[in-house]
């Protein structure tokens, strides 16, 4: 008898829901922190017989990010000091919307390879009629940072963060990897975190003490879907989940977004199209 996954034995529970917290203004940056970790726990049963080899069987999670909004709008102290728009969720800052989210190299496929994220099947002992249970956990807490001040290259004046919107959408999948390297997708869920805030300075340069942070109610929240059975079939990102070729890393993409945003500037307080 070979090791087999007991059909429909997978269990997936969201043990802690994500959250978002209000931005904090530091010396030079504005941080958009998570307000709570998302945590999940998954398990599955395996049938095996004495002598079956359980090595190179793993249970764990794979995560893909498939939508992102990420922009900051800056204005000078006066209209003639100009304005700037920093877009980080469009090419070339973000070459594609979808990416695989891993704590290590993107070729790991699993979100993490530490034992709590990617667990092997327990060695035993085997008891006839009693399948072996293996389990793994998942946790994440996205956050991001924008500079408080940028220099307008047209007016050569400082422009200060006036509004920012960030949205990160994920799909997280409970999987089993067999010794041949095949991934069996068992259950999955979707979740997201959103921030949108305006910054109204009462003095210049703006600081934490003299800036009112105003939430945009419709743009703030954290949400988790129901748990769905089986394989992800969403064509927008299903090919990202287990491919070992030409898959972008979310962490590498985030670094490129921060270091190489798409920047548009104006000599006055302009209205920019945030869709581009």
Confidence of residue 129 (pLDDT cuts 50, 70, 90): confident
Q: What mean pLDDT is predicted for residues 118-139?
A: 88
Q: What is the 3-state secondary structure (H, E, C) of 77-132?
A: CCHHHCEEEEECCCCCCCCCCCEEECCCCHHHCCCCCCCCCEEECCCCCCECCECE
CA 220 to CA 223: how far, in whole Å? 10
Confidence of residue 48 (pLDDT cuts 50, 70, 90): confident
Q: What mean pLDDT is predicted for residues 168-173?
A: 98
Confidence of residue 276 (pLDDT cuts 50, 70, 90): confident
How confident is the prediction for the chain on average, in pLDDT? 94
DSSP-assigned beta bridge partners for residue 266 = 83
Confidence of residue 84 (pLDDT cuts 50, 70, 90): very high
Q: What mean pLDDT is predicted for residues 76-81?
A: 98
Confidence of residue 1 (pLDDT cuts 50, 70, 90): low
Helix (H) or strand (E) holding 252: helix 250-259
51: buried, middle or exposed (CB in 10 Å: 19+, 13-18, 0-12)?
exposed
């Amino acid at each position: 008898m070979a090791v087999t996954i007991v059909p429909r034995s997978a269990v997936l529970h969201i043990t802690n829901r994500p959250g978002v917290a209000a931005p904090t203004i530091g010396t030079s940056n504005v941080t958009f922190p998570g307000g709570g970790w998302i945590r999940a726990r998954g398990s599955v049963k395996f049938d095996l017989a004495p002598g079956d080899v359980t090595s190179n069987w793993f249970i764990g999670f794979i995560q893909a990010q498939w939508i992102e909004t990420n922009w900051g709008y800056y204005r000078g102290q006066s209209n003639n000091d100009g304005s700037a728009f920093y877009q980080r969720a469009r090419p070339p800052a973000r070459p594609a919307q979808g990416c695989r989210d891993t704590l290590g190299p993107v070729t790991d496929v699993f979100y993490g390879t530490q034992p709590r994220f990617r667990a092997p099947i327990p060695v035993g002992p085997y008891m006839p009629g009693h399948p072996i249970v293996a389990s793994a956990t998942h946790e994440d807490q996205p956050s991001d940072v924008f500079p408080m001040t940028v220099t307008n290259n047209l007016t050569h004046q400082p422009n200060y963060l006036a509004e920012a919107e960030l949205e990160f959408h994920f799909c997280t999948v409970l999987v089993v990897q067999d010794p041949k390297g095949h991934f069996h997708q068992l259950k999955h869920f979707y979740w997201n975190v959103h921030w949108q805030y305006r910054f109204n300075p009462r003095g210049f340069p703006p600081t934490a003490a003299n800036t009112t942070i105003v939430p945009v109610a419709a743009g703030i929240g954290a949400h988790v879907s129901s748990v769905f059975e089986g394989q992800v079939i969403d064509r927008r990102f299903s090919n990202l989940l287990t491919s070992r070729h030409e898959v972008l890393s979310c962490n590498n993409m985030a670094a490129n977004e921060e270091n190489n945003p798409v920047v548009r500037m104006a000599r006055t307080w302009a209205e920019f199209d945030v869709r581009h």
